[in-house]
């Protein structure tokens, strides 16, 4: 029965991914800087506010904090993807976009529960670019007639990581991860004329860089006994810090005129990704687990070839969430549901015409436990970003995230 449920889940997940990865429409604001930051590394985090740096995940690999790797109870592999729909509206126009993308893959190994040692590796989205803008214009007094201007972008920053953790006596778990950032920024713009008297032109710019970085993390031991509060359990503090990283590669600009493709400019590229800090606490009261987090990152330090972006600002994100986990009752079947929800407020990296672009998000999620060690995670997220004032764009975004987590007992270590 366990094997059948696992195979069925893998098949369903593969079909969803294969059928959905055909478009990547995200946000018109993602054309600024290096794309929109992605904080939720998996569907479970997305369902309870994106963050949770102090949460202990025994049945999930959480790239948010490498200190959590030591709490894994089984060898575990996670797959995650997201589908989104964006309703964009300005003072005069409105448009709908939709798409899907693969969000992450991770693999974790428990090494020693006694010493809190675990190892994990994987990849997840760090930023994401995905937009399409098209505008039709006409001038009856001009021989150019009707022409269409369009802009599109794709790509972003992907983070690959390899990390481990260790339980420091009387302190808690500490962790460290080596990160490898792969950047692929693709931008295109074109003007298409209806009149043959004018030449349609397109420009494409590609920037590709590679670079290393480090993440340090910490999760404290349970400190609830120090407070002596009857209902309070498993109170922990968490912290993670991503060091600033410098990626190097190349940047190329092409133009296309009358189906002739030529290189306008090519050269070296250097992208500096700013540091990121995440602080949080979590606790349990009965069957409900709560967390609160604060994340900050100085995106004003983002720089390409030594130049910062004028439309960038330093960001922060405040997030809180809860998860209801009913305790198994003797005689009940293994299958059960876990429920969660969250809310977050974020000052995004974008400043447009002097206007800060902020975002408010609410989310709900659930986990279906198929069998011991195997589960499916679902999350539904609504976000509101931007404003229609000053001819800007308001985005109402609905996301549906799906995650598959599989666990097996691969190794049995004899503690001595």
pLDDT tens-digit profile, the chain (416 residues): 444 444 454 444 444 443 344 444 567 888 888 888 998 888 999 999 999 999 988 888 988 999 999 999 889 999 998 888 888 887 777 777 777 888 889 999 999 888 999 999 999 999 988 888 777 766 655 555 677 788 888 889 999 999 999 998 888 999 999 999 999 988 888 877 766 667 777 888 889 999 999 999 999 999 999 998 889 999 999 999 999 999 999 988 877 775 556 666 678 889 999 999 999 999 999 889 999 999 999 999 999 988 898 889 999 999 999 999 876 554 444 458 889 999 999 999 998 888 888 999 999 999 988 877 888 999 999 999 888 887 788 889 999 999 999 887 665 555 55
The predicted pLDDT at position 121 comes to: 95
Closest CA to 404 of 366, 365, 370, 377: 377
Residue with tokens 């799906």: 402
The span from the CA of 202 to the CA of 194, in Å, is 15
The span from the CA of 289 to the CA of 216, in Å, is 24
The span from the CA of 149 to the CA of 134, in Å, is 6
Residue with tokens 């400190």: 223
Closest CA to 215 of 237, 235, 238: 238
The predicted pLDDT at position 341 comes to: 96
- Model-level pTM? 0.85
Structural domains in the chain plus CATH codes: 2-337+344-356+395-408 (2.40.160)
Q: 394: which 2 tokens?
A: 């308001």
The span from the CA of 406 to the CA of 273, in Å, is 33
The span from the CA of 338 to the CA of 323, in Å, is 7
The span from the CA of 246 to the CA of 266, in Å, is 20
Residue with tokens 């295109």: 188
Closest CA to 196 of 145, 150, 148: 145
């Amino acid at each position: 029965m366990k094997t059948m449920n696992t195979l069925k889940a893998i098949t369903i997940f593969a079909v969803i991914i294969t059928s959905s990865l055909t478009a990547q429409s995200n946000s018109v604001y993602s054309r600024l800087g290096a794309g929109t930051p992605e904080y939720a590394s998996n569907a479970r985090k997305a369902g309870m506010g994106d963050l949770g740096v102090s949460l202990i995940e025994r049945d999930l690999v959480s790239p948010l904090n490498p200190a959590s790797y030591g709490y894994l109870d089984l060898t575990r592999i996670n797959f995650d993807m997201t589908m989104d729909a964006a309703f964009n509206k300005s003072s005069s126009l409105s448009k709908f976009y939709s798409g899907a993308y693969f969000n992450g893959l991770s693999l974790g190994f428990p090494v020693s529960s006694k010493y809190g040692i675990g190892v994990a590796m994987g990849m997840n989205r760090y930023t994401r670019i995905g937009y399409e803008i098209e505008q039709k214009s006409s001038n009856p007094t001009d021989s150019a007639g009707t022409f269409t201007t369009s802009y599109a972008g794709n790509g972003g920053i992907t983070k690959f990581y390899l990390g481990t953790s260790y339980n420091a006596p009387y302190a808690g778990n500490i962790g460290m991860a080596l990160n490898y950032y792969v950047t692929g920024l693709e931008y295109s713009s074109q003007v298409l004329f209806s009149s043959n008297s004018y030449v349609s032109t397109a420009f494409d710019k590609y920037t590709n860089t590679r670079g290393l970085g480090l993440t340090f993390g910490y999760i404290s031991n349970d400190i609830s006994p120090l407070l002596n509060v009857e209902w309070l359990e498993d109170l922990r503090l968490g912290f993670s810090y991503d060091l600033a990283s410098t990626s190097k590669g190349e940047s190329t600009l092409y133009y296309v005129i009358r189906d002739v493709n030529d290189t306008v400019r090519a050269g070296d590229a250097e992208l500096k990704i700013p540091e990121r800090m995440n602080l949080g606490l979590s606790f349990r009261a009965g069957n409900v687990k709560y967390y609160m987090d604060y994340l900050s990152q100085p995106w004003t330090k983002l720089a390409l070839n030594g130049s910062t972006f004028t439309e960038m600002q330093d960001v922060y994100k405040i997030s809180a969430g809860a998860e209801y986990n009913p305790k198994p009752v003797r005689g009940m079947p293994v299958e059960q549901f876990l429920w969660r929800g969250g809310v977050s407020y974020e000052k995004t990296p974008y400043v447009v015409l002097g206007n800060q672009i902020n975002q408010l998000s609410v989310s709900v999620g659930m986990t279906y436990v198929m069998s011991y060690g195997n589960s499916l995670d679902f999350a539904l997220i609504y976000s509101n970003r931007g404003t229609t004032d000053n001819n800007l764009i308001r985005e109402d975004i609905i996301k549906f995230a799906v995650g598959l987590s599989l666990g097996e007992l691969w190794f049995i270590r004899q503690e001595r």
